[in-house]
């Protein structure tokens, strides 16, 4: 079970429908096109977010930028999934769904270790105007992509597409957390940044587990 677009729980399944209809093929092409468009933004978002994070020594901001790379990997996986003969392949869908899960799992330990290191070294985050601007843009843009991909994933029976959409929605949610962390750090609450980063790690691990199981949710 995961949350649907309205914030209520929805039932999940993992058996994709037969990819035979014209609508299914249109949805597959749309999923691929949205993933390609997402890659363009994520490239800029990741570079700016990581640069701002290192400049401000913000683990949460660095982690958010790293999560953008994870999202980019998921987008590439979906493009691969719906290209050529793989479009009709159930085996390609299974591999793509697990690859998306692995992309989640790559992020979680990085964030956790980075938090431990910064706490041990006594580093604290500084306010970042660039980080605030980049995360604010994602806060407004990513929900549209996320909802569209989750709906496509449900119609296509594609855990990979649904997982990518979930990552986009998580990106927006994380942007809220990172912005709050930046604001709280500016007010002297130094615990905010590592707390946000730790929450991001937990969410990534949880979503990776669901993607690995191949859950696809109706909307």
pLDDT(4) > 60: no
Give residue 140's region: left, alpha or beta (phi > 0; psi -120 to 50).
alpha
Q: DSSP character for 20?
A: T
Q: Is the pTM of this model over 0.95?
A: no
Confidence of residue 44 (pLDDT cuts 50, 70, 90): confident
Q: Within a 13 Å sphere around the CA of 67, how many CA atoms are in the beta-carbon half?
A: 35
Cα separation, 214 vs 163, in Å, equals: 9
Confidence of residue 10 (pLDDT cuts 50, 70, 90): very low
Mean pLDDT of 4-28: 58
pLDDT at res. 99: 81
């Amino acid at each position: 079970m995961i949350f649907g677009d309205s914030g209520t729980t929805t039932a999940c399944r993992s058996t994709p429908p037969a990819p035979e209809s014209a609508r299914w093929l249109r949805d597959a092409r749309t999923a691929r096109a949205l993933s390609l468009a997402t890659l363009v933004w994520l490239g800029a978002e990741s570079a700016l977010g990581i640069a701002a994070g290192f400049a401000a020594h913000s683990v949460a901001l660095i982690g958010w930028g790293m999560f953008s790379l994870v999202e980019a990997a998921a987008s590439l996986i979906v493009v691969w999934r719906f290209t050529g003969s793989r479009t009709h392949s159930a085996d390609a869908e299974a591999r793509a769904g697990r690859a998306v899960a692995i992309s989640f799992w790559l992020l979680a330990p990085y964030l956790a270790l980075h938090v431990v290191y910064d706490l041990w070294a006594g580093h604290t985050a500084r306010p970042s105007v660039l980080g605030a601007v980049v995360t604010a843009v994602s806060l407004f843009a990513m929900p549209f992509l996320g909802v569209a991909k989750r709906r496509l994933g449900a119609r296509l029976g594609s855990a990979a597409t649904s997982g990518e959409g979930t990552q986009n929605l998580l990106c927006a949610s994380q942007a809220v957390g990172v912005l709050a962390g930046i604001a709280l750090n500016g007010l002297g609450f130094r615990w905010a940044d590592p707390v946000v980063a730790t929450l991001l790690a937990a969410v990534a691990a949880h979503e990776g587990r669901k993607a690995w199981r191949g859950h696809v949710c109706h909307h």
